[in-house]
Amino acid sequence: MRRLATLLWLLAVLLAAPATAAKLDEALARLLDDSYGETAIAAGEIATSGDANASAILEALADNRLQFSAAQKLVAITGKEGKLANAATGAVVTAPPADLTPVRQNNRVRGAVQEALGAMTLLSPDPAKRLDAAQSIFKSQDATKLSQVEAALDGEKDPRVSLALEAARAVILLGKADAPQTARLAAVVTLKQRGDQSAIAALRNVPADAPAALRDAANRAVADIEKGLAVWRIGQNVWYGLSLGSVLLLAAIGLAITFGVMGVINMAHGEMVMLGAYTTFVVQEVIRNAAPGLFDYSLAMAIPLAFLVAGAIGMAIERTVIRFLYGRPLDTLLATWGVSLILQQAVRTWFGPTNREVGAPNFMSGAFKIGELVITWNRLWIIVFAGLIFIGLLMALKYTALGLHMRAVTQNRRMASSMGIPTARVDALTFGLGSGIAGLAGVALSQIDNVSPNLGQGYIVDSFLVVVFGGVGNLWGTLVGALSLGLANKLLEPFAGAVLGKIILLIAVIMFIQKRPRGMFALKGRAVET
Amino acid sequence: MIARTFLTDDRRSAIFLGLLAIAAVVVPFCHLVFPPSSLLHIGTSSVALWGKYLSFAILALSLDLIWGYAGILSLGHGAFFALGGYAMGMYLMRQIGSRGVYANPLLPDFMVFLNWKELPWYWWGFDIFPFAALMVVLAPGILAFVFGWFAFRSRVTGVYLSIITQMLTYALWLSFFRNDMGFGGNNGLTDFKDILGFPVQAPATRAALFSITAMTLMLCYIVARYVVASKLGKVLVAIRDAESRTRFLGYRVDAYKTFLFTLSAAMAGIAGALYVPQVGIINPSEFHPAQSIEVVLWVAVGGRGTLVGAALGAILVNFAKTTFTSGILAPYWLFVLGALFVLVTRFLPNGIVGTFFDVAADTRSARRPAHAGSTSASGRLREAESEAPLK
């Protein structure tokens, strides 16, 4: 799109070449007079000439690199490398004239040059630069720029830029007491269509001495915009909620399967997340030192590694500690808490207690806007990532032998065992899988959270919340639990504040557990204990 | 009469109570009578430190009561401890009067700082000691009663119960951090001056607080021992080992559990109230879930379901913690703590005291005494039951 616009612009320049060249020559001729007044006028004319060299000439003038020779009627630019070039044609000057002197400037000329350069960016061939220029005028509400804005608006082809220019013009007109009433009312309409926070600010800035009709129109427009913005704000909160929900899902899903299969609450689950994040850190360190060019692939490399590291440590924990505590879920809880303390302290000793810097690859940084909705790429990718893991796990449970065994053990351990399912092996693998997924969660969280030894601690209560709320019957419970808690949290925040919102949520879940002691999606069974 | 039953047929209780009684007299005596230069002198910091350990012992005892005898693993017992502590802290705050930094006779410093104009209603009455003392028991007691009433009636058990108790203390932790709550926010309550007219820092007050803590521990132990030795205690053990079976036999399981949970919470509140004047501060960190889990470790180390073991475990672990964290080994304390969690659950499920008495009982005779036998026999029962699906 942008390339096409540039092409069109180039075409327009080429077609208009003879005319612009004449205008530029006329302006350059003024410089030969060596008078401040003529130079100032020339600066403005160069800017509006539309010549491709115009901005280079003005920049050279501002930098004191523009020289002229009255004898040869030549204006030349000393290039940044010291070469001399004809300002009008860009051709290299091989034999510098003897009377070459710099174009002199005083403050008036400097002001004119700066203004001309500002107008130049409004006419810059790069639409992004034009957009920036238009927006900075919109913000500064600089009334002196009105004529430039209008001039730029005439030739503008890019719809986004012309929208920004119109807004800029509207803001200026709104504050201009001598502008015609109809134009000012039209400006209100323009701003209302813009419909964002800055439009509200501009509309509130209508001078108190403005006619009552204008002020009324502005006030009504503000009210309308605010109504629209409120809807957007809810949308934004829903987005934040989805984002938080996906993070909760990542953190809790591994916990949910180990809890479902083994009846074991793994208090060291948060530390598996932390290990995943530190794996990402280590991978990035290695890449930074060995092959900086591969940095954008660091996360792709960290994903399998984090899974393996966390999964292996998880299996080791299962084999050395948890295996001996079957049938004693509360003891397991304590033992895994001990493991979590050891892991935390180990990481603290190894990597230090401070936050570690984990960078974002290019495709994950930045944000884009849909209407008034700001969507950051890293959050979007994390949602996608969480979704993929969820689907992958769902598939694994449904179509693999291990998945079948896991479901069987979840439903009835003794019966599964009687049918020849190696429950001990299933336990070990489940624990490894759950921990591995926690490691994956760590890779994702390293992008949005501080990578410190305490990373896991921050998520452990939240992931319990999701698991007991969702129930362990199936993964959908975890999904629904994570998303609804994420959404509820973010939708409560604007009213109650972050902390109070969380407290309300905790109490709500505690009360919910009273109604459904085994969570939302509990496994149905006929045993007494279920 | 109760005391006689213990002292005659329960050597463990006799030794425990005897040692506490001696400590309650000897420690203050050594602190006050001998000059600091003397070998027999016990320093101010040691008295406060051991007083703190004893208040932790009361907390551990209260947890052992529900975990060891009813199988309720509370991961939020620190909340009741902290509530009791805050009740006491509020009384001590009111005693500061106009001696605060802002010299406001009506409001505690932090309220002046927050620009509050009058005392919030929930601070009313805390300048009267009996009211505050009542609150020490009532605040955690009522919370535990309401919480337990709902949770036990809905038959929330096992891991689920542990997790919602953790959520409870987490929610309180977040709440007490808020300045708007009116409990001093992040900084909590501190800079205490007087308790019942005696300066908190004075050696005599410290000695007296130590004695009172030791005696309270004795009293709590006697109450706990009485509860578990009674018929009620037998039903509780039955609930711990086979809850559904007990319910089918016609016992109101939820009522038993709620009673015990409330009693235990009140006890934890008293422990908190004794802790605050000796340590000189109460802040939201006491509510932190990690704090509550540590309490569970004390009980596990000492031996759950033994009462004496819980108290002993609290003292041992905290002594080790102080020793470790004050030296060059400080960074390694978490390794030790973590290893303790793992090793005790793995190799010493009955804790130090429980294992010791099991071994002693085994060597003495094949027939085990009722109280020691119950822990290991119950282990087998519990395992059998948890083989049921989805436990």
Asked if A502 is an interface residue toward chain B (Cβ–Cβ < 8 A), one would say yes
Q: Both A113 and A158 in a single domain?
A: no
Q: What is the CATH number of domain B2-386?
A: 1.10.3470
What is the DSSP code string of B269-319?
Answer: HHHHHHHHHHHSEE-GGGG-HHHHHHHHHHHHHH-TT-SHHHHHHHHHHHH
pLDDT in tens, B358-380: 787 777 655 544 444 444 444 44
**Domain C-terminal end among A87, A104, A122:** A122
Domain encompassing residue A112: 19-122
Given a contact cutoff of 8 angstroms between Cβ atoms, the answer to whether A196 and A183 are in contact is no
Q: Both A375 and A506 in a single domain?
A: yes
User: Given this model, what pLDDT does residue A481 score?
Assistant: 92
What is the DSSP code string of A210-243?
Answer: S-HHHHHHHHHHHHHHHHHHHHHHHHHHHHHHHH
Q: How far is A421 from chain B (nearest CA, A)?
A: 15
DSSP state of A518: T
Mean pLDDT of B171-200: 91
Query: What residue segments make up the domains of chain B, in order of their start?
Result: 2-386
User: Given this model, what pLDDT does residue A85 score?
Assistant: 82
Given a contact cutoff of 8 angstroms between Cβ atoms, the answer to whether A40 and A109 are in contact is yes
**Domain C-terminal end among A96, A122, A148:** A122
Assess if residue A506 is contained within a domain.
yes
Q: Both A295 and A383 in a single domain?
A: yes
Q: Give burial (CB, 10 Å; 0-12/13-18/19+) of A398.
A: exposed
Assess if residue A529 is contained within a domain.
no
Q: How far apart are CA A134 and CA A137, in angstroms?
A: 5
User: Given this model, what pLDDT does residue A171 score?
Assistant: 82
Q: How far apart are CA B73 and CA A339, in angstroms?
A: 19
User: Given this model, what pLDDT does residue A74 score?
Assistant: 82
Q: Which residue has the higher pLDDT, B147 or A524?
A: B147
Asked if A419 is an interface residue toward chain B (Cβ–Cβ < 8 A), one would say no
Q: Both A156 and A91 in a single domain?
A: no
Count of structural domains within chain A: 3
Q: Which of residues 369-408 of A touch B (CB under 8 A)?
A: none
**Contact across the interface for A341 and B297, Cβ inside 8 Å:** no
What is the DSSP code string of A281-350?
Answer: HHHHHHHHHH-GGGGGGHHHHHHHHHHHHHHHHHHHHHHHTGGGGTT-HHHHHHHHHHHHHHHHHHHHHH
User: Given this model, what pLDDT does residue B371 score?
Assistant: 47
Q: Both A354 and A271 in a single domain?
A: yes
Assess if residue A528 is contained within a domain.
no
All residues of chain B having their beta carbon less than 8 Å from the beta carbon of residue A509 are: 164, 167
Q: Both A273 and A398 in a single domain?
A: yes
- In A, minimum Cα distance to B386 occurs at A327
Given a contact cutoff of 8 angstroms between Cβ atoms, the answer to whether B192 and B108 are in contact is no
User: Given this model, what pLDDT does residue A451 score?
Assistant: 92
pLDDT in tens, B233-280: 999 999 999 999 999 999 999 999 999 999 999 999 999 999 999 999
Question: In whole angstroms, what separates CA A179 from the centre of its chain?
Answer: 40
- Burial annotation B342-353 (CB, 10 A radius, 16+ → b, else e): bebbbebbbbbb
User: Given this model, what pLDDT does residue B368 score?
Assistant: 46
Question: In whole angstroms, what separates CA A468 from the centre of its chain?
Answer: 32
All residues of chain B having their beta carbon less than 8 Å from the beta carbon of residue A502 are: 171, 174
* Nearest beta carbon to residue B168 from set A267, A341, A510: A510
All residues of chain B having their beta carbon less than 8 Å from the beta carbon of residue A346 are: 335
Asked if A334 is an interface residue toward chain B (Cβ–Cβ < 8 A), one would say yes
Q: How far is A145 from chain B (nearest CA, A)?
A: 48
Assess if residue A192 is contained within a domain.
yes
**Domain C-terminal end among A210, A241, A272:** A210
Q: Distance between the two ends of chain B, CA-based, in angstroms?
A: 42
Mean pLDDT of B190-215: 92
Of the candidates A272, A332, A353, the one whose C-alpha atom is nearest the C-alpha of residue A306 is A272
Asked if A323 is an interface residue toward chain B (Cβ–Cβ < 8 A), one would say no
Q: How far is A517 from chain B (nearest CA, A)?
A: 5
SS3 state at B230: coil
What is the DSSP code string of B317-331?
Answer: HHHHHHHHHTSTTGG
Q: Both A111 and A133 in a single domain?
A: no
Q: How far apart are CA B257 and CA B70, in angstroms?
A: 7
Asked if A22 is an interface residue toward chain B (Cβ–Cβ < 8 A), one would say no
User: Given this model, what pLDDT does residue A50 score?
Assistant: 66
Residue-averaged pLDDT of chain B: 87
Asked if A48 is an interface residue toward chain B (Cβ–Cβ < 8 A), one would say no
Q: Which residue has the higher pLDDT, B227 or A293?
A: B227
* Nearest beta carbon to residue B346 from set A335, A344, A530: A335
Q: Both A117 and A132 in a single domain?
A: no
Assess if residue A215 is contained within a domain.
no
| CATH number of the domain where residue A279 is located | 1.10.3470
pLDDT band at B56 (very low <50, low <70, confident <90, very high): very high
User: Given this model, what pLDDT does residue A8 score?
Assistant: 57
**Contact across the interface for B338 and A338, Cβ inside 8 Å:** yes
Amino acid sitting at position A310 = A
- Burial annotation B201-231 (CB, 10 A radius, 16+ → b, else e): eeeebbbbbbbbbbebbbebbeebbebbbee
Question: pLDDT in tens for each of the 530 residues of chain A?
Answer: 556 556 555 555 555 555 566 778 888 888 888 888 888 888 878 877 767 777 778 878 888 888 888 877 888 888 767 778 887 777 788 777 878 888 888 888 888 887 777 777 777 777 777 887 787 778 777 777 777 788 788 877 788 888 888 888 888 887 777 778 888 888 888 888 877 777 887 787 777 777 888 888 888 888 888 888 888 888 999 999 999 999 999 999 999 888 888 888 889 999 999 999 999 999 999 999 988 888 888 899 999 999 999 999 999 999 999 989 887 888 888 899 999 999 999 999 999 888 888 888 888 888 888 877 888 898 999 999 999 999 999 999 999 999 999 988 888 888 999 999 998 899 999 999 999 999 999 999 999 888 999 898 888 888 888 988 888 767 899 999 999 999 999 999 888 888 899 999 999 999 998 888 888 887 776 666 54
User: Given this model, what pLDDT does residue B105 score?
Assistant: 82
Q: Both A70 and A93 in a single domain?
A: yes
User: Given this model, what pLDDT does residue B365 score?
Assistant: 58
